Amino acid sequence: MLEPPVRPIEWCDDHVRIIDQRVLPKVETHLDLTTPEQMADAIRGMALRGAPLIGIAAAMGVALEARRSAGEDLHGFRDRIAKAVALLRSTRPTASNLFWALDRMQAALEGGSPVESTVVLTDRLVAEALSIYEEDLEMGFTMGKIGVDLISQGDSILTHCNAGGLATSGFGTALAPVYVAARNGIDLRVFADETRPLLQGARLTAWELARSGIDVTVICDSAAHLLISRGRVDIVFVGADRITLSGDFANKVGTCGIAASANARGIPFYVVAPSSTIDFKMERGCDIPIEERDASEVTHVLGVRITPDGVSAYNPAFDVTPAELVSGFITEKGLIEPPFDQNIAAIGPGRPQIR
Amino acid sequence: MLEPPVRPIEWCDDHVRIIDQRVLPKVETHLDLTTPEQMADAIRGMALRGAPLIGIAAAMGVALEARRSAGEDLHGFRDRIAKAVALLRSTRPTASNLFWALDRMQAALEGGSPVESTVVLTDRLVAEALSIYEEDLEMGFTMGKIGVDLISQGDSILTHCNAGGLATSGFGTALAPVYVAARNGIDLRVFADETRPLLQGARLTAWELARSGIDVTVICDSAAHLLISRGRVDIVFVGADRITLSGDFANKVGTCGIAASANARGIPFYVVAPSSTIDFKMERGCDIPIEERDASEVTHVLGVRITPDGVSAYNPAFDVTPAELVSGFITEKGLIEPPFDQNIAAIGPGRPQIR
């Protein structure tokens, strides 16, 4: 099996071990979860985050229930699994990978003969959860191998937010090319935007790159434009939350400004995301709803209030970057280059893979 | 005398009362300073900040020394004043207004007859300090009156950092048009970038606007581009630390990215600064040195560490915005519009005022 740079989640047969991301980067603490209830609490309480990782965690939560209930009669077993699925489904309302992973677990349960033993069903559910995990590892590594061809010796790479190992099974999306490059002996440097309001860059990206021995420098989000305009960035890699058929895409707020700066200076700007991030039913970025999150994320930093009492704040979580600012999309199915309005649809459901 | 929206400093004859900006916005506390030593500590310790305000404070510190030493013989009086000037000069190495104000105080002492009484000299020094203060008030109000013509009923104004009353005698630079507009009954809304790393927008701009009853909303610096691109900003006002003859100017890091976004969307972008901010000896922005400040400002927020131990940070304090992104410069001498390479030099030393 592939050895990822970081292991935010591990299946340990009778429990699941996760890194508690709430206390990073101060301390690296693991939580051992033995029940789907504990897993639901961990997801809801954001002990782990990142859409791909949430999906994996939910699937493993169902597998934990199967292990616990393997001694039940078949009816009781199916009933308990259904309850665990419902519980895990309620943890985060918007993470599409969560529903996708739980649907896969449900399908694994429902396939096969209706009179299979709970032992066989348990084995099948555990295997499905591990498949989801391993497929994600494989996809991350594949995207890393595609992206590494874009990196040259000595490059300075800029990234925003945490689209790293901690958001996935371990390789990340935007950081996957960085990890593969480092393994290939390419000398590089990463500038990590701190990514206000929740500081995923300062806290998580910096932490996971530093522990892999990769040279990382944190900057305030405002300093990205200066770095780009002074020629100190060679290439930009970011993740994506939703990619439309036109190539317009949504990602953490701040991404669009970086894309504009990179474009103005002629710096390549790549989006790294599994093909499941593409919304094949949505044409253009203006149709993507922008989630507005609680103002307290802006008015407070790590629990400390920074604004005067009573002053309001506006907290859009995402922005939309227009396709014309994007150099390419790196997916596990290959590198998608312009014209995006043709080439994105070409990898849609039922279409052949590119290169 | 003009009534400013905020009084960060007041001359009270036997003492100087200042707002302690270190504890804003949590509490509004005043410090009563009676000696130049206390004033030097306040400047060095950043109980007050902002180049114009530092100049005023230093001048008042010298006036405090004159009050204290008025009973000395003439030689002892001059000696004590010289020591106070030297002490205050050493407080902040880069604030040009500090040296300019102390030079004015020195000139006030040295002018006149060499055998004047210490009482006459004291009156002259106090009067000079008050002149520096009142001229700054007048300049702020004048810039506000010029800028207000650019604001329409219902406008949303974006600003960055704190170029407000708290950085000056009370009207501010970038915020002066906002205050004058509010006094004129113009309905407006201000979006204040929080301005990492030191959060002058979230802490100071939000505080002073809110206490004047002006509708202010704090945003993360990363959200400015989204607001501008979605048409939610009508005009941008920022301050400046140095303006060159070409119109390229330096201001708090993050300014240039905002200017680029505003320009791309056709949103007017104005710089508000007294003419003393213009460096008539410097041609272009690429010659402006960018001060790099301590990494701890990035790695910590209000004393709380946000990055992993050992991870480095890069902390450029300013960036340079090219002239072509600027709609105009509002100075106390008038509005300077393009072509800047002709119109900025036209208000230089010995040139007639414009309009």
Would the pLDDT of B179 be above 60? yes
Least confident of A87-101, A168-182, B121-135, B241-255: A87-101
Residue B8 preceded by cis peptide, ω within 30: no
The whole-number average pLDDT for the span B137-156 is 98
What residues of A are in contact with residue B304 (Cβ under 8 Å)? 301-302, 304
- How is residue A77 annotated by DSSP? H
Backbone angles phi, psi at B57, to 5 degrees: -65, -40
| Exposure b/e, B173-211, CB count within 10 A at least 16 = b | bbbbbbbbbbeeebebbbbbbbbbbbbbbbbbbbbbbbe
Residue A241 a catalytic site member = yes
Q: What is the DSSP string of B17-43?
A: EEE-GGGTTT---EEEE-SHHHHHHHH
| Helix intervals (H) in chain A | 36-44, 51-69, 74-89, 96-110, 118-148, 176-183, 200, 206-211, 223-229, 255-265, 296-299, 340-343
Closest-approach residue (CA) in chain B for A226 = B319
The C-alpha atoms of residue B189 and residue B158 are separated, in whole angstroms, by: 9
- Say which amino acid occupies A44: R
For residues B221 and A319, give the distance between their C-alpha atoms in angstroms, rounded to a whole number: 13
Core vs surface per residue B10-45: b (16+ CB within 10 A) or e: bbeeebbebbbbeebbeeeeebebebbebbbebbee
Rounded mean pLDDT of B249-275? 95
Instruction: Spell out which residues of chain A touch residue B28, defining contact as CB-CB under 8 Å.
Output: none
Using pLDDT thresholds of 50, 70 and 90, give the confidence band for residue A352: very low
Q: How far apart are CA B248 and CA B250, in angstroms?
A: 7
- CA-based torsion, B294, A263, A255, B243: positive or negative: positive
Distance CA B182, CA B89 (A): 37
What is the enclosing helix (H) or strand (E) of B259? helix B255-265
Is the Cβ pair B254, A220 closer than 8 Å?
yes
Residue A236 has pLDDT above 90, yes or no: yes
Band of pLDDT at residue A94, cut at 50, 70 and 90: low
- The catalytic residues of B are 241
Average predicted confidence (pLDDT) for chain A: 94
Answer for the pair A231, A261: CB distance below 8 angstroms, yes or no: no
Kindly tell me if the per-residue pLDDT of B354 is higher than 60: no
Residues 6+ positions from B83 with CB-CB distance below 8 Å: B65
CB contact under 8 A, B264 and A260: yes
Nearest alpha-carbon partner for B238 in B261, B215, B210: B261
- What's the pLDDT tens digit per position in A261-272? 999 999 999 999
- Residue B349, pLDDT score: 77
pLDDT score at A95: 65
CB contact at 8 A, B16 and B10: yes
What is the value of pTM for the model shown? 0.90
Band the pLDDT of A1: cuts 50, 70, 90: low
Q: Which amino acid is at A142?
A: T
CA atoms of B6 and B15, how far apart (whole Å): 19
CB nearest A221 (choices: B24, B221, B313): B221
Chain B CB contacts of A310 under 8 Å are 210
Tokens of B112: 């006149």
pLDDT at A97: 79
pLDDT digits (tens, 9 = 90+) for B300-351: 998 899 999 999 999 999 999 999 999 999 999 999 999 999 999 999 875 4
Neighboring chain B residues of A191 at a CB cutoff of 8 Å = 314
Query: What is the C-alpha separation between A193 and B253, in angstroms, rounded?
Result: 14
* Rounded distance between C-alpha atoms, residue A11 and residue A192, angstroms: 30
Contact B229 A308 (CB under 8 A): no
- Residue B125 pLDDT > 60, yes or no? yes
Q: What is the pLDDT of residues A109-168, one digit of tens each?
A: 987 777 789 999 999 999 999 999 999 999 999 999 999 999 999 999 999 999 999 999
What's the pLDDT at A351?
Answer: 47
B349 preceded by a cis bond (ω within 30 of 0)? no
The per-residue pLDDT for B247 is: 97
Residue B338: count of CB within 10 angstroms of its CB? 15
Contacts of A299 in chain B (CB under 8 A): 202, 218
Judge: A226–B319 Cβ closer than 8 Å, yes or no: yes
Residue B322 is given by DSSP the state -
- Determine the Cα–Cα distance for residues B92 and B328; give it in Å rounded to an integer: 30
Amino acid in position A122: T
**Ordered DSSP codes for B170-224:** SS-STTHHHHHHHHTT---EEEEE--TTTTHIIIIIHHHHHHTT-EEEEE-TTHH
Which of B158, B251, B306 should be substituted to probe chain A, the one whose Cβ sees the most A Cβ atoms within 10 Å? B306
Point out the residue among A196, A216, A305 whose CB comes nearest to the CB of B220.
Answer: A196
Which helix or strand (DSSP H or E) is residue A216 part of? strand A215-219
Rounded distance, CA A55 to CA A8, Å?
13
Structure tokens at A54: 């949430």
Question: What is the rounded CA–CA span in Å between residue A162 and residue A24?
Answer: 13
Q: Which of A216-230, B175-189, B280-294, B327-341 has the lowest mean pLDDT?
A: B280-294
- Chain segment A319-330, per-residue pLDDT in tens: 999 999 999 999
Alpha carbons B192 and B175: distance in angstroms, whole number? 11
For position A335, what pLDDT does the model report? 98
Residue listed under structure tokens 């900025």 = B344
pLDDT of residue B355: 44
Query: Which of B191, B298, B302 is nearest residue A194 as measured by Cβ atoms?
Result: B298
How much is the pLDDT for B33? 98
Return left, alpha or beta for A95; rule: phi > 0 is left, psi -120 to 50 is alpha, else beta: beta
What ipTM does this complex have? 0.89
Our CA-based measurement puts residue A319 at a distance from the nearest CA of chain B, in whole angstroms, of 6
Q: CB within 8 A of B86, min separation 6: which ones? A: none
Count interface pairs A-B at CB distance under 8 A.
Answer: 186
CB contact set of A329 (below 8 Å; sequence gap of 6+):
A240, A243, A247, A249, A270, A271, A272, A273, A335, A336, A340, A344
Side-by-side strand order, sheet with B249-252: B242-243, B249-252, B318-321
Q: Of A10-24, A56-70, B341-355, which gets the smallest average pLDDT?
A: B341-355
**How are beta strands A334-336 and A328-331 bridged, if at all?**
antiparallel
- Chain A residues touching B222 at Cβ < 8 A: 193, 195-196, 221, 252-254, 257, 319
A235 pLDDT more than 50: yes
The partner residue sitting opposite A260, judged by closest CB among B25, B227, B260, is: B260
Amino acid sitting at position B346: A
Marked catalytic residue, from A193, A241, A248, A319: A241
Considering only CB atoms, B261 lies closest to which of A195, A252, A257, namely A257
DSSP character at residue A279? -
The reply to whether residue A225 touches residue B254, judged by beta carbons under 8 angstroms, is yes
**Which residues of B fall within a CB distance of 8 Å from A256?**
225-226, 229
Is there a contact between A61 and A125 (Cβ–Cβ < 8 Å)? no
Greater confidence (B132 vs B349) lies with B132
Pairwise CB contact (< 8 Å): B253 & A203: no
* pLDDT score of B95: 65
Per-residue pLDDT, averaged over B24-45, amounts to: 96
Q: How far is A55 from chain B (nearest CA, A)?
A: 27
Residue B346 tokens read as: 């036209």
Q: Minimal Cα–Cα distance from B287 to chain A, Å? A: 13
Cβ contact (<8 Å) for B194 and A222?
no
| pLDDT confidence tier of residue A61, bands split at 50, 70 and 90 | very high
Quote the pLDDT of residue B152. Answer: 98
In sequence order, what are the beta bridge partners of B251?
A: B319
Residue B352 pLDDT exceeds 60: no
Which of B223, B305, B311 shows the shortest C-beta gap to A316? B223
Q: Please calculate the CA angle A127-A128-A129 and round it to the nearest 5 degrees.
A: 90
Q: Which residue of A has its CA nearest to B202?
A: A307
Mean model confidence pLDDT for chain B: 93
CA distance A61 to chain B (A): 30
**Sheet harboring B156-159: ordered strands across?**
A312-313, B215-219, B189-193, B156-159, B235-238, B269-272, B328-331, B334-336
Whether residues B206 and A308 touch (CB distance < 8 A) is answered with yes
> How far away is chain A from the Cα of B15, in angstroms, using its nearest Cα?
28
Is B230 strand, coil or helix?
coil
Q: For residue B70, what are the CA distances in angstroms to A233, B14, B111, B127?
A: 60, 12, 17, 15
Residue B206 to residue A307, Cβ atoms within 8 A: yes
Phi, psi of A286 (to 5 degrees): -65, -15
CA atoms of B6 and B171, how far apart (whole Å): 7
- B332 compared with A289, residue with greater pLDDT: B332
For residues B239 and A8, give the distance between their C-alpha atoms in angstroms, rounded to a whole number.
45
Average pLDDT (B166-195) is 97
Q: Is the pLDDT of residue A353 over 60?
A: no
Task: Identify the closest residue of chain A to B232 by CA–CA distance.
Answer: A314
Q: Binning pLDDT at 50, 70 and 90, where does residue B106 land?
A: very high
- pLDDT the model gives residue B94: 65
What pairing do the DSSP bridges indicate for beta strands B249-252 and B242-243?
antiparallel
Return all residues near B117 (Cβ < 8 A) that are at least 6 apart.
B74
